[in-house]
């Protein structure tokens, strides 16, 4: 039997503020990301959308790489195809990116589903598909598709 964390445990502050409050919001989002795949729990894309108060980046930012390294907390079938989605957050506080990082950065949660579930989510909008891995990335630079930060 799997248990689900109470939705309140995944809830985030509705307002993004600058300074220390935004830094705390990013830490809180990191905890939500890590909690999406925790021992004895099953969470869905709906839980992630509610926890982050936003949907993931839209298709075509879905990736289903055939031989990708999965996050350490993965319960995905490593022999099958898995798809990853990205919940991206660009901080308003330039201090969150640290000195010498460049012109900006992003914080994002990489969320994985099985390939079949990822296709179901993209094609029908069914957000009840289970999440089988997640990873929180901080102060990242680069691009996800055509979105660069």
Q: What is the DSSP string of the chain?
A: --B---HHHH---SS--STHHHHHHHHHHHHHHHHTS-TTB--BHHHHHHHHTSPPPPTTS-B--TTPPPPTT--S-TTS-EEEEEEEE--S-GGGG-TTS-S--EEEEEEEEEHHHHHHHHHH--TTPBP-EEEEEEEE-SEETTEE-
Predicted confidence band of residue 98 (pLDDT cuts 50, 70, 90): low
Predicted confidence band of residue 22 (pLDDT cuts 50, 70, 90): confident
**Assigned domain for 20 exists:** no
**Assigned domain for 37 exists:** no
**Assigned domain for 29 exists:** no
**Domain residues for 56?**
42-144
**Assigned domain for 121 exists:** yes
Q: Above pLDDT 90, what percent of the chain?
A: 28
Query: How many domains does the chain divide into?
Result: 1
**Assigned domain for 9 exists:** no
Predicted confidence band of residue 67 (pLDDT cuts 50, 70, 90): low
- Average pLDDT value for residue range 51-61: 80
């Amino acid at each position: 039997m799997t248990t689900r964390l109470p939705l309140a445990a995944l809830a985030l502050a509705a307002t993004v503020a600058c300074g220390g409050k935004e830094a705390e919001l990013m830490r809180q989002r990191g905890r939500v990301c890590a909690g999406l795949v925790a021992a004895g729990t099953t969470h869905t894309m709906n839980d992630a959308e509610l926890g982050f108060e936003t949907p993931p980046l839209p298709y075509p930012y879905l990736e289903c790489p055939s031989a990708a390294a999965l996050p350490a907390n993965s319960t995905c079938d490593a022999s099958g195809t898995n798809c990853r989605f990205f919940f991206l957050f660009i901080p308003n506080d330039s201090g969150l990116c640290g000195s010498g990082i460049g012109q900006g950065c992003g914080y994002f949660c990489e969320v994985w589903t099985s390939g079949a579930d990822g296709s179901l989510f993209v094609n029908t909008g069914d957000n009840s598909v289970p999440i089988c891995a997640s990873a929180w990335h901080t102060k990242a630079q680069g691009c996800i598709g055509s979105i660069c930060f």
